[in-house]
Amino acid sequence: MIVDVVFDLPVPHPFSYRVPSQLRVTPGQRVRAPLGTQARVGLVVATREGEEEELKPIVGLAESGPILSPSQLELTRWIAGESLSSWGSSVSALLPPAPRAATETTPPPPHWSRSSEERPWLLTGGDRERRLLARLEKDAETRGILVLAPEIDQAAAWADRLSAALKGPVARLDSGVAGRQRWHAWMRLARGVVRVGVGTRSALLAPVPAPATLVVLDENDPAHKPPGPPRIHSREVMLERAKRDTSRLYLTAGTPSVESWWRSDEGEFHRSENGPSPWPHVAVVDVRGTLRTHPLSPALRHAMKETLSANGRVLLLVTRIGSAMACGECGFVLRCPECRIAMVFSRARRELACRLCRRTDPAPETCPHCRGRQLAPLGWGTERVEQAVRAEVPRYRVARYDAESRRGRAITRAMGEGSAHVVVGTRAALKAFHGPALVGFISPDPILRLPDFRAGERAFALFWAAAERVAEGGRVVIQTQHPTHYAVRAAAGQELASFYKHELKFRAELGYPPFRRICLITVSGRADGAAKRLAGDLERELQALGELTVYPPAPLGRSPKALRWQIVLKGGDDLPARLHPALSPFLARRREGRGIIEVEMDPVDLA
Ligand SMILES: [Zn+2]
Ligand SMILES: [Zn+2]
């Protein structure tokens, strides 16, 4: 018998081995096989009869039976094809580590069967999690459940929540638990001993028998597509899984991704909204021309003092200094005339560059809109805001929460126990700090000006999350140079649909997702000029495909000897299938040492 095995390697093809006659191997099973100088764990993707003496034999079995059923294996092949990445790397990222010695497994769940199809549900609104829990309690009577959270902390919290609500054991399949325990959790689900699984991306293939109920929590969270394999959004995998095995799928989000909102507009998803939930008073403060001297506007100072004297706690959110250039007087942002996303300002070169089409322009001296001379990146760091707050309210305890201080347990404790009156923090503080009576955005404008077409969506999600988290009767103050931006207005007025209407119009006009798909191709080379030449060859090949928008390759980083070049592409729904034949010769050629090609379909971050 001969087996084709894929490994955690960035190569597009499987490797073939002989199977010693005393061993039985089936597709979906993990084996140890020689690769280079050592034996590595790989997954068998196909078997065939034959005796090819020149092939090396496999060394042994990693587990006594398959860890993936034929339909799960087929789903992993789809993931690799859809993300234009290695089958082996994609699947390795989705399986629990193999035990050291071959261990008894039980057969994976039987072939997924198709029953009636059900459209996925998109749950929005303030009490979405309560509604979800009620549905899960009902579903748990007849089906298995798999809940996917964007981050480990949320997975842990949901595991506790579900175990309490469903009065039963829950298997955790995220990297917050040790590899060995994850393997056992996987096997308990496969055997049907436990019927509820919770995890992060590493739980995407968890063997909950179909038809199941699948959940993607906060489907709009970029953490559902972190860097590295599998290079695909968790939501897309769950949609495909639910479609293949006719499972029920719930997606939840305070502010759904634009892609999901659009699909629900198109009737692909059921949208379950509820009426307006309690909404705080949201004050939008116009700080054009005033924020350069002091981070707190009179309105925010006043709101802060009022909140503190009523024993409320205050959270002030700071955005790291942006790279876009804007006018300090009128708020005008220098955007690419073609792509309409903010251009990136390079101080050293006094130059503006578009991250998408690669256009560069010299930075102007005066504002093209008001002729003011205050053009610069704008923003306040947490330290300076903290100082200003201490000076303003010296009798209150002020704590800082950002990337540097987050490791300090003391601050997290101060936030948890409520001993800090005011916390000055970056975006992450919003998740950590419960029940503030006032959230103040010092200068969220760098988010609105991200050199990314998702800038509006990101800013809107942040404003909305703040409003949802403010204690009842509390308020939100947004200091901005863009008081009339639709993301600001929609968040202030609790008008979810109005945001998407504007955003979808913009995306349709400029050909951004969900109307077209984007692909980023990064070429790295070791030698001078090698990456550039390879990127040039690749570009010609891609141009020849036709019907795609291929932007010219551009260096990543500003060094003249750039070793990394990037090509941005836009195309239709079939973009991966169109690109595959053009890319595979380049991906296979990596061993010739010309350079390495990395492909990122549907990137969540351009900036
Ligand atoms: Zn552009
Ligand atoms: Zn201006």
How many helices and strands in the chain, by DSSP H and E? 17, 28
pLDDT band at 561 (very low <50, low <70, confident <90, very high): low
For residue 528, the model assigns a pLDDT of 67
pLDDT at 591 over 90: no
- Residue 562 pLDDT > 70: no
- pLDDT band at residue 427 using 50, 70 and 90 as cut-offs: confident
Q: How many angstroms does the Cα of residue 363 sit away from the middle of ligand 1? A: 15
- Dist. CA 170 → ligand 1 center (Å): 48
Which of 245-254, 361-370, 375-384 has the weakest average pLDDT? 375-384
Average pLDDT over residues 397-408: 69
Cα(371) to centroid(ligand 2), Å: 6
Tell whether the model's pLDDT for residue 223 goes beyond 50: yes
**Which pLDDT tens digit goes with each residue over 47-92?**
999 878 899 999 999 999 999 999 999 999 999 999 999 999 999 9
CA separation for the pair 551, 356 (Å, rounded): 7
Query: Is pLDDT above 80 for 338?
Result: yes
Tell me how far the alpha carbon of residue 372 lies from the centroid of ligand 2, in angstroms. Answer: 5
| Per-residue pLDDT at 110 | 54
Lowest-confidence segment of 38-42, 188-192, 270-274, 319-323 by average pLDDT: 319-323
- Mean pLDDT within 202-228: 94
Name the closest ligand to CA 367: 2
Topology adopted by domain 121-272? Rossmann fold (3.40.50)
Per-residue pLDDT at 558: 55
Between the CA of 591 and the centroid of ligand 1 the distance, in Å, is 34
What pLDDT is recorded for position 238?
A: 98
**CA 598 to ligand 1 center in whole angstroms:** 22
Q: Which ligand is nearest to the CA of 361?
A: 1
User: pLDDT at position 590, please?
Assistant: 60
Report CA(299)–ligand 2 centroid distance (Å): 23
Mean pLDDT, the chain, rounded, equals 89
Rounded to an integer, the average pLDDT of 279-293 is 85
Judged against a pLDDT cut of 80, whether residue 468 lies above it is answered with: yes
* Averaged pLDDT, 2-13: 92
Q: How many angstroms is it from 376 CA to the middle of ligand 2?
A: 11
The values of phi and psi at residue 498, to 5°, are -70, -35
Distance (angstroms) between ligand 1 centre and the Cα of 358 equals: 6
- Among 389, 412, 458, 425, residue whose Cα is nearest residue 317: 425
% helix, strand, coil for the chain, step of 5: 30, 20, 45
Query: What is the pLDDT at residue 15?
Result: 96
pLDDT at 409: 44
Question: What's the gap in Å between 390 CA and the centre of ligand 1?
Answer: 42
Ligand nearest, relative to CA of residue 339: 1
Collapse the DSSP code of 79 into the 3-class scheme (helix H, G, I; strand E, B; otherwise coil) and give the result.
helix
85-141 pLDDT, tens digit each: 999 999 999 999 988 877 777 666 555 555 567 899 999 998 899 999 999 999 999
Is residue 596 within 8 A of residue 590, CB to CB? The reply is: yes
Mean per-residue pLDDT, 528-555: 89
CATH fourth-level superfamily of 2-92? PriA, 3(prime) DNA-binding domain (3.40.1440.60)
214: which 2 tokens? 């699948």
Q: Does domain 517-601 have CATH number 1.10.1740.10?
A: no
Entry pTM: 0.90
Interval between CA 475 and ligand 1 midpoint (Å): 38
Q: pLDDT of 439-461, one tens digit each?
A: 999 989 888 988 889 999 999 99
Tell me the CA–centroid distance for residue 483 and ligand 2, in Å: 15
How many angstroms does the Cα of residue 317 sit away from the middle of ligand 2?
Answer: 25
pLDDT at 217: 98
Looking at residue 201, its pLDDT comes to 94
pLDDT band per the 50, 70, 90 thresholds, residue 13: confident
Q: Quick one: which ligand is closest to 451's CA?
A: 1
pLDDT of residue 106: 66
The ligand whose atoms approach the alpha carbon of 366 most closely is 2
Cα 477 to ligand 1 centroid, rounded to whole Å: 33
What pLDDT score does 227 carry?
Answer: 86
Report CA(335)–ligand 1 centroid distance (Å): 8
Distance CA 394, CA 384 (A): 15
Instruction: Answer left, alpha or beta for residue 192, where phi above 0 means left and psi between -120 and 50 means alpha.
Output: left
Residue 292 · residue 442 · CB < 8 Å: no
Residue pair 255/496 in contact by the 8 Å Cβ criterion: yes
Ligand number, closest to the Cα atom of 330: 2
CA of 359 relative to ligand 1 center, distance in Å: 6
Q: Where are the domains of the chain?
A: 2-92, 121-272, 281-322+378-507, 517-601
Percent of the chain with pLDDT over 90: 63
Q: Give yes or no on whether 121-272 and 281-322+378-507 have one common fold.
A: yes
Dihedral of the alpha carbons of 373, 378, 384, 389, in degrees to the nearest 10 = 90
Mean pLDDT over residues 252-271, rounded? 96
- Ligand closest to Cα of 512 equals 1
pLDDT at 256 over 80: yes
Ligand number nearest to the C-alpha of 343? 1
Residue-level pLDDT at 109: 59
Q: Flag the least confident range among 27-31, 319-323, 556-560.
A: 556-560
| pLDDT band for position 547 (cuts 50, 70, 90) | confident
Distance, in Å, from the CA atom of 515 to the CA atom of 19, rounded to the nearest integer, reads: 48
**If you measure from the C-alpha of residue 377 to the centroid of ligand 1, how many angstroms do you get, rounded to a whole number?**
19
The alpha carbon of 302 and the centre of ligand 2 are apart by a number of angstroms equal to 28
Proximal ligand: closest to the CA of 453: 1
CA of 266 relative to ligand 1 center, distance in Å: 29
Kindly report the CATH number that applies to the domain delimited by 281-322+378-507: 3.40.50.300
Q: Could you tell me the distance, in angstroms and rounded to a whole number, from the CA of residue 301 to the centre of ligand 2?
A: 26
Task: Considering every ligand atom shown, identify the ligand nearest to the alpha carbon of residue 335 and give its number.
Answer: 1
Q: Per mean pLDDT, which range of 4-8, 25-29, 306-310, 587-591 is the poorest? A: 587-591
Measured from the alpha carbon of residue 329, the closest ligand is 2
First and final C-alpha spacing in the chain: 49
Cα–Cα dist 7/11, whole Å: 9
pLDDT of residue 410: 47
Interval between CA 286 and ligand 2 midpoint (Å): 14
Q: What is the pLDDT of residue 347?
A: 75
Interval 388-392 mean pLDDT? 94
For residue 350, the CA-to-ligand 1 centroid distance in Å is 18
DSSP string for residues in 419-460: --SEEEE-TTHHHH----SEEEES--HHHHT-SSTTHHHHHH
Q: What average pLDDT does range 236-251 have in this prediction?
A: 95
Beta-bridged to residue 439, according to DSSP, are: 315, 476
**Burial of 55 per CB tally in 10 Å (0-12, 13-18, 19+):** middle
